[in-house]
Amino acid sequence: KLAQTLTVELRQALARRDTTLLGVVLNVLLAWPDCCFRTEVVKHPRSRDTLAF
């Protein structure tokens, strides 16, 4: 579910030519194997909207 939510949000941001979310999504997905046992709050860097938790 996390990957699906982030993929949708990232596609929408990239369609608007907003690449700020790209780093956040990449960081979350790369960190997933190390911290999959705890919850993570993922926020958009500009709008501060919560994308996933």
Residue 18: half-sphere exposure toward Cβ, Cα within 13 Å: 14
Is 20 within 8 Å of 46 (Cβ atoms)? Answer: yes
CB 50 within 8 A of CB 43: yes
0.85 surpassed by pTM: no
Domains of the chain by residue range:
2-52
What digits encode the pLDDT tens for the residues 10-44? 899 899 998 888 888 788 788 878 887 887 777 87
Report the alpha-carbon distance of residue 36 to residue 53 in Å, rounded.
12
